[in-house]
Structures are given as structure tokens and as C-alpha cells.
Chain A
Amino acid sequence: MNGELRLAVFICGDGRHGKRCGGSAIVASPRGMEAGVIAVAFDELKVSMSLAEPAAFPVAEKVLLAAVIVASLGVFAWRLSPIARNVLRSKKDTDFSLRPVGARVWKFFWEVLCQAKVIEQRPLPGLAHAFVFWGFLAFALVTLNHIAVGFGHGFLQYAGWFGTFYVMFAAVWALLVAVSIAGLFIRRFVVRPRWLGAEVSVESGVIAGLIFLLMATYLAALFVDDGGGAALGLWWVHTLVLLVFLPIIPGTKHLHLVLSPLTVFLKRPEFSQLPKLEGDDDFGLVAGKDLTQLIALQAYSCVECGRCTEHCPASTTGKVLNPKEIVLGVRSYLNTEGPGSEVALLDGAQPALSMEAAFECTTCGACEFQCPVGVQHLPVLIGLRRGAVNTGAWEDKYGTKLFLALEKQGNSLGMSSTERDKFIAKQEFPIFDGSQEYCLWLGCMGSYDPKGREIVSDFARVMRALGTQFGVLKKEKCTGDPARRLGNDLLFGDLAEQGLKAFAMAGVKKIVTICPHCVRTMATDWLEYGVAPEIEHHSEFMARHAHLLPQQKGESIVYHDPCYLGRYQDVYDEPRAVVATAGELVEAERHRERSFCCGAGGGLAFLGEESGERVSHVRAKELIATGAQTIGTACPFCNSMFRDALGAVGGEAPPQLLDIAQLAARGLAMQTNDRDGKPGEN
């Protein structure tokens, strides 16, 4: 009787019993309320108030139960085995290491158990999904008990503090799961966001129905008599739903239930981490034989949610590339050709895996960042490019021109290095001789691009004003970033080795640069060849000195997060600290981790005209729409893209376009002029 009472408190929120539950409200806040009164009120409910169990099964029924369990597990294993075989037979990831375990455990806790990414990036459906997931976890014990009951060994009774708590706890989750899965069903089949693709799979509807049925049968068992026919019926329905559910999982997107916790735990620790090419026959992803176990595992984990495509600058501007289809293309390739295949991955039977698509990627990494199940798109996309470029299969007028410029001139713009010499002389940049604290790395844009030069010059002004000693290298070659992202390992390796040698010869200890691509490439990608000196982006340097930068007033500035600074290096606050000294910081609709690419990354700045809408125009319009007077950038490539875009879509009075170094330099110049009392020559 005591237990019944508590249940009444729990279910009173349910509309079905709302009228009768008046008494329970009294129970919730009674002081000196007599138990007898309440007991009378609830006696009329005729609710069993415990989890109804069927009467003990005869042997024949137990045998039947055992048979269907074995059949279900058998079909499950039979359907899972080719997938497991494909993953296990794929090439070993030779660079794989479980370390750092702590970071992996944290990722598992945060992304799997807490469902943080799922919720953070799509809050409403994310939360609904999280409820289903947490509900499943809560139901693990219930399910075990359920099966155990069939064999007469039920252990979870509505008695004792734990059993009482757990049955009710699971009931709450059952309600949440039922509501959530119904919501998700409506989203998928009625609302139909386009990122789910043109067709939504029937089996996902079936699965949703089965989950709903599981929850409904559990909840219903709370309202029928123990040992009765209804209890028996509910028990069998619940059991059969479970046993039908299990074999459906492999071969559908619901395989992520089984795989994704493992995938998230095992994924490569670095963002866009490209494996080292091993041996003489490894040129990247040329054919099935090159697909690694991690790639295969990730391909089978894809839940087809389409978040990657939703955030892809190529997909959303009418290009062929669709990151979700790339992953599904790899999966489909594995299913048809198998892991050891010699059949080419690109331009073969998988329409999604085309050369055109692979070279439309800006490597902005939005896909990899968004993926809730641990798929890492960049090593696949860049891997496909490596396979095409390292074997010479990729023929592209602009790409070849870029590679030859990097081979011969050592810079991506194909300029003569004497142009850089002249620029250094004109700006009176000291040559690094070991006595200065910093080596100021100019990069290709800072050395040869007119706007890049302005940015570097302004940053040098800031360093000088702050009294920081710096010098530049006499000769610089490209870090190899565009070669790396386009998959030219020969060229990238040459440039990395030359760069490392140049820093060692000059005795450089600390590098600072205006280009996030240079920072990422030197600090992370060069590791295959050696360790570069400590390097930081100028936003980090200036943020450390932000208190010394004069506070400017008035102007509203929208800051654009460069992909290679934000998602690649988690630097979001530092450039904002610099912007905040120059005016009022405004955020674009998509910012920080969700920032939208300018279109330049992945070597695309050097390739030919894009098909569809220009990525840079889309982003520029979004930045203009904030109404900010100035666009603040922190990457010379973004700056260059927006300079062109503003000319095309900026209208009559486009916002000003300034790098954060120029914003800081402007403040310092105004301060000097105020002090000296003369008009500025900024």
C-alpha cells in the first residue's frame, strides 16, 4: 500500500489519471495528513502499482523463449559479421596509439555519455536524441530483468528501496523516450529537414515504432495485474519487439548504436590528423587496400544525420561535394569491393566518390567538427586527394601551376623571391640573427600579396610599439600548407624539411605569424619531419598584450573566425580580445566553432573558378548582414577572399575590411598622434 501511494505521486502528471490524482497533490505537501484518507482515494484506481510480471512459464514456453533469443542473436551476428570482417580486414592504422587515454576517456564521457555535441549543435532534436540514449542506458537493467523473468529469475521487483526506485526511475525515462522518439519520428517523416537527404529510410521509421512500443509495453505493465493475461501479453510483445529490434541494427544507420561509442573513443586525437604514408606503396587513398580500420569503422558508424553536409561550404553553395555521401560512398565501396580491393576509389562505381568532389573541399573542417559519431572526414577527403596527386592522376591546370610555383619559386603565388627581399628592405624589417626574441614569419601572403604585406607591416608596427624585438628570415619558403591540403606529399615534405632546416640554421626559438595556415602546418603537420620552434598566431601575441593596446571607441566590428585558427587550433577568445580594444565586437550568425569558411582553404584559393555560388560571397553577405561597420579578420587568405567578395556583393558602402593587426595598429597610431598633437599618417 505504501508503494502504491508513491506511484500515484509519480503518475499524477499523466493526463489519463489527472482527474483522479487530486489526492496525490495533497500527498506531496501534506503535513499531518492521514494515510487512511489517501488509501481510500487510491483504492478506487484499480492500478496494480507494480511492474506486472507474467506467471511462471511452463517449460515449453521457456524453450520457445530461448529459441527466439538464439534466433535473434544469430541473425544479429550474421548481419554484423560481414561488417566486422570488413573493418578488421582493412589496413591497420600503423600510427594508432591509445594514448592519451585520459583525453579519449574524456571525449567518450563528454560526447557519448553526456551527448554534448549532439545537443550543442542541434539543441532540440539533440536533446530528444539524448533522452532516447539515456533512456536506453536506464533500460539496460530493466531489459536484463525482463528476460530473466521469462526464465523465472527476475531480480528487479517493485519492493525494497532499490527496486522501487529503479522501476519508477525507468518509468520516467520510458515516458521521456516515448515522447522524444515520437518527436524525432515527426521530425524525420513530417518536417523532413533537407539535410536528412531526399529519401529517408523506411527502417528508421520502423525502429522508431519499435522503440515507442518498447516504452509503451513497459509503462502499460505498470497498470495491469500481476500474473494475468494482460501481463503475459505485454511481456511477450516487449520481448518480441526487443528481439526484432536487435537484428535490424546491422546494415542500417542504427548500427551507430553499437559502433559509435567505440568510434568516438578510438578516433584520431588531432583535428584533421593525416596519417604518415608508410612504405613504398602508400600514396594515400587510391583503392580499397588503402582504407584503414579507423576509416572503415567510421564509415559504418555514420548515422546519416547530415550535419556535415548542413555545415559544408561546398555542399551549401551548389558544389558536387557532399561529405555525408563521401562517407557513405566509402561504406558502399567496402560493401561491394571489399577492403583489400585494388579498384580505384575515385571516379569508379561510387558516384559520390568523384575527383571533382574531392577537390572541392576547402578543408574547413566543419564536417569533422560537427560529426556526433566520431567520423573524421578530413583524413578521408585529403587522403583521396593524396591518392590522386601522389600518383599523378589529378590533372588540373591551376593545381599544376601551383605545384610548379612551389617547386620552383618556393611560394604559392609564384613570385620571384627578390620581390620579398625588396619588401623587407622597404619596410626595414631586421633580419633575424638570434639576438631577437621572435622570428616574424611573413608567409606567402605577407611576403607577396599587397594586402598581406599591409597586415604584416601593421603587425610589425604593433610589435615595435610594444617594444618586442623581432627579425625576419632572409629567405622564406612556403610552409607547404596548400601542398599538404591538396595531397602533394612530395612537395609538402620537401618544403617542411627546408623550413625546419631554415629555422635551425637561424637559431629561431619563437615564431609569430599573421597566418593561421602557417601556424597549423608548422606546429602540427611538420611533426612528420621534425619539431618546429614554438609558434603562435599574432592574435595570441596581441591578446597577451591587449592591456597595452589603447581602447578605441564607437565602431562596431564583426569578427570572422578563420577555420584554421578556430576549429583547427581552438583559438576563439584571443582575436576577440584584440577586436574588443578596437571597437564594439559583433557576432555573425555563424561564429566560433560554427564559423563558415571564406572559401580559400585546402589550396582552393589557387584553383580555378568555383561552380555554383561563391563561398566567399555567402560568408561576406552574412558578415554584412550584421550591420557592422568593419569586418575584422585574422587570416590573410580570408582577408583576400572578402576583399574580392565585398567588391561583388558589398553594395554601395561596403564595411571596412581590416585584419586584427591593422585594428591594433590603428589604435596605436591614433594614440601617438594624440600624444604628439599632429594629424596621423596611418
Chain B
Amino acid sequence: MKIVVAVKQVPERDAVVRVAADGRSVDESDLAWTMNEPDAYALEEALQLKERAGDGEVVVLCAGPERVQSTLREALAKGADRAVHVVTPEDGDNALMCRDTLDVARLLADAVKGESPDLVLTGLQSDDLGAGQTGVVMAELLGVPHATLVLHVELAGAGIKVKRELEDGWMQHVEMPLPALLTIQSGGNRLRYATLMGIKKARQKEMREAPAAAAAKRVDEVLKVSPPTRVKQTEMLTGSADEIAAKLVEKLRFEVKVL
């Protein structure tokens, strides 16, 4: 079975993100980058599928400037067989950050078409922009069925059986034909750590650079990005200890949603 995993490089979770001078994007100059977390789970799912099947190929795909090759290397080190890098310029209108979801999905779908895989996996959304659309738009462009919020995939005859996470702990099990595209939810598997052997093997693995089509004109326009404003809310709970405890539990459960 041939699986393509589309991944995105996003700023590290602890990175200090600043608004760029134009006020409509973030300043990328000083950022540390990492693999988008749901994409890491998509990769893990693909690797486990291949390991369970005993054979197959996992191709990892990423669009972006040269820096994304570190993320592709990481994927190769963890066990992907090949990498395809859709090269977009560092900045200007054709840069990845200037393209809308449809355009990015098109870049990726074009690269996937050449591979004609049985299965395409990607994270359900990105940790930076979080539109959650790239995967499903890609499925549409490829003309294959898709499922979202997938926690687990297994082979079932000629097709697959997937477990989808619904709200509040509910699960849905779906059977689908192949080829298909799945967007993967975080936490379904245990991620693996990168190993020295993996990194060394990764150096020998193929990393193909593919040209990116010119960006189509955006239909939408980003007006402004803004950092989070800190909102502090203080509320005094009054009453007897029991009453306060009951109110506190209610707030923790329904407002803060930590219980």
C-alpha cells in the first residue's frame, strides 16, 4: 500500500510570534519551526499501517520554502521512505503564507496526483492558521472520498475501516473504499522518538523537489492579525463552604471545562 502524508511546518509552540510590519501576517524572521502536531500523528498512523501490513511505501509531502526540508528530514528519520518538497519562494505573492487554502490544497493535490497513492493522510488542521480545510479540499480536488477527525485506521478487505472522534467521547466507525483521504486527529497513537539510525538512514533517502504552480489570485483578503489580548476575569464566590464548592465545581465544569 502506498500512503502519502501531507505535512506542514509551523512555528514551535513556545515561539514568540510577532506581527509583521504590514500588520497582516506574522514576522517569520526569528521563528523556530516544527512539524504540525496533527500531521505528526498522521505520519505515525501511516508508519504503523505500513508496519502492520508488512510492506508498502510512505511518501511525505510538504510545501514551503527551503526551511521545510528540516521537517521532511524529520519525517524521513522517523521512517518515511521518500519525501517530496513542493518548493515555494521565501516571500512575495507566491510564498506559501500568501496563498489561500484552495491554492495550497491545489499545490499538494498536484503533487499527490503524480504519486497515485492508495491513501492520503494529513492532520485535521494546522497549529498556526487552523483553517482545517486543506485536507478536505485536497480530497475534492483528487476526487476521492474523505473522512475527518480520524483517530485510527485499519485495513478491511479492499477498503479501510476508520474510527472518527465525535464530541463528548462518542466514536463513529466508518468503512470506506480506497483510494481515500483522511484528516487525522492528534492523540490516536503514541508518537515515536527520532533516532540516530533514522537520521542516518534519512540522509540516504530520496528528497525530490517539485516546482510550485504560480499562485492564483486570492478571493479573500487578510485584513489584520492581532496577538491575543489578555482578559482577566475575577469573580468572588460567596456563601457557605459547601455552596462555594458547588459553585466552583459548576464553573470548572461548564465554564472553564476542566472537569
User: Which A residues fall within an 8 A CB radius of B?
Assistant: 277, 280, 283, 389-392, 397, 399-400, 403-404, 407-410, 416-418, 488-491
- Tell me the complex Cα distance, A491–B199, Å: 11
Q: Is the CB of B200 within 8 A of A408?
A: no
Partner-binding segment picked from B107-115, B128-136, B190-198, B216-224 = B190-198
- Tell me the complex Cα distance, A409–B193, Å: 14
Q: Which residues of B181-205 are within 8 A (CB) of A?
A: 190-200
The 4 closest A-B pairs by CB, nearest first: A403-B193, A390-B196, A490-B196, A392-B195
Q: Is the CB of A400 within 8 A of B192?
A: yes
Q: Is the CB of B196 within 8 A of A407?
A: no
Do most interface residues of chain B lie in helix, strand or loop, or is the interface mixed? loop
Q: Is the CB of B34 within 8 A of A408?
A: yes
Shortest distance from the beta carbon of B13 to any chain A beta carbon, whole Å = 7
Residues of B within 8 A of A403 (CB): 193-194
Per the CB 8 Å criterion, the residue count for chain B at the interface is 15
Residues of A within 8 A of B198 (CB): 392, 490
Task: Please give me the residue from chain B that is nearest to A390 by CB atom.
Answer: B196
Q: Is the CB of B193 within 8 A of A408?
A: no
Q: Is the CB of A408 within 8 A of B192?
A: no
- Tell me the complex Cα distance, A389–B194, Å: 9
Q: Is the CB of B193 within 8 A of A488?
A: yes
Report how many A-B pairs have Cβ atoms within 8 Å.
49
Shortest distance from the beta carbon of A192 to any chain B beta carbon, whole Å = 45
Residues of B within 8 A of A389 (CB): 195
Shortest distance from the beta carbon of B149 to any chain A beta carbon, whole Å = 23
Q: Is the CB of A416 within 8 A of B196?
A: no
Task: Please give me the residue from chain A that is nearest to B14 by CB atom.
Answer: A417
Looking at the complex, which one of A277, A397, A409, A417 makes contact with B196 (CB distance below 8 Å)? A277
Do most interface residues of chain A lie in helix, strand or loop, or is the interface mixed? helix
Q: Is the CB of A397 within 8 A of B190?
A: yes
- Tell me the complex Cα distance, A410–B12, Å: 11
Q: Is the CB of B195 within 8 A of A409?
A: no
Residues of B within 8 A of A488 (CB): 193, 195-196
Residues of A within 8 A of B193 (CB): 392, 399-400, 403-404, 407, 488, 491
Q: Which residues of B115-161 are within 8 A (CB) of A?
A: none
- Tell me the complex Cα distance, A407–B71, Å: 13
B14, B192, B194, B198 — most chain A CB neighbours (10 Å):
B14
Other contacts beyond A400-B193, A417-B14: 15, CB < 8 A: A283-B196, A390-B195, A390-B197, A391-B195, A392-B197, A397-B190, A400-B192, A403-B194, A404-B191, A408-B34, A416-B14, A418-B14, A488-B193, A489-B196, A490-B198
Q: Is the CB of A409 within 8 A of B14?
A: yes
Shortest distance from the beta carbon of A408 to any chain B beta carbon, whole Å = 7
Residues of A within 8 A of B13 (CB): 408-409, 416
- Known contacts: A392-B192, A397-B190. The answer to whether A283 contacts B197 by CB under 8 A is yes
- Known contacts: A408-B12, A408-B34, A417-B14. The answer to whether A400 contacts B190 by CB under 8 A is yes
Task: Please give me the residue from chain B that is nearest to A416 by CB atom.
Answer: B14
Cross-chain pairs A/B with CB under 8 angstroms, 10 sampled? A390-B195, A399-B193, A400-B192, A407-B194, A408-B34, A417-B14, A418-B14, A490-B195, A490-B196, A490-B199
- Tell me the complex Cα distance, A403–B194, Å: 8
Shortest distance from the beta carbon of A13 to any chain B beta carbon, whole Å = 65
Shortest distance from the beta carbon of A648 to any chain B beta carbon, whole Å = 28
Task: Please give me the residue from chain A that is nearest to B16 by CB atom.
Answer: A418
Residues of A within 8 A of B192 (CB): 392, 400
Shortest distance from the beta carbon of B168 to any chain A beta carbon, whole Å = 26
Task: Please give me the residue from chain B that is nearest to A389 by CB atom.
Answer: B195
Q: Is the CB of B200 within 8 A of A280?
A: yes
Residues of A within 8 A of B194 (CB): 403, 407, 490-491
Residues of B within 8 A of A416 (CB): 13-14
Shortest distance from the beta carbon of A396 to any chain B beta carbon, whole Å = 10
Residues of B within 8 A of A417 (CB): 14
Shortest distance from the beta carbon of A409 to any chain B beta carbon, whole Å = 7
Residues of A within 8 A of B12 (CB): 408
- Tell me the complex Cα distance, A407–B12, Å: 11
Task: Please give me the residue from chain A that is nearest to B197 by CB atom.
Answer: A391
- Tell me the complex Cα distance, A491–B195, Å: 8
Residues of A within 8 A of B200 (CB): 280
Residues of B within 8 A of A491 (CB): 193-194
Shortest distance from the beta carbon of A282 to any chain B beta carbon, whole Å = 9
- Tell me the complex Cα distance, A397–B193, Å: 11
- Tell me the complex Cα distance, A489–B13, Å: 24
Task: Please give me the residue from chain B that is nearest to A282 by CB atom.
Answer: B196
Shortest distance from the beta carbon of A164 to any chain B beta carbon, whole Å = 67
- Tell me the complex Cα distance, A403–B198, Å: 15
Task: Please give me the residue from chain B that is nearest to A402 by CB atom.
Answer: B193
- Tell me the complex Cα distance, A204–B12, Å: 62
Shortest distance from the beta carbon of A605 to any chain B beta carbon, whole Å = 18
Task: Please give me the residue from chain B that is nearest to A418 by CB atom.
Answer: B14
Residues of A within 8 A of B190 (CB): 397, 400
Residues of B within 8 A of A490 (CB): 194-196, 198-199
Task: Please give me the residue from chain B that is nearest to A410 by CB atom.
Answer: B14
Shortest distance from the beta carbon of B46 to any chain A beta carbon, whole Å = 16
Residues of B within 8 A of A283 (CB): 196-197
Task: Please give me the residue from chain A that is nearest to B193 by CB atom.
Answer: A403
Task: Please give me the residue from chain A that is nearest to B203 by CB atom.
Answer: A280
- Tell me the complex Cα distance, A409–B34, Å: 11
- Tell me the complex Cα distance, A215–B13, Å: 75
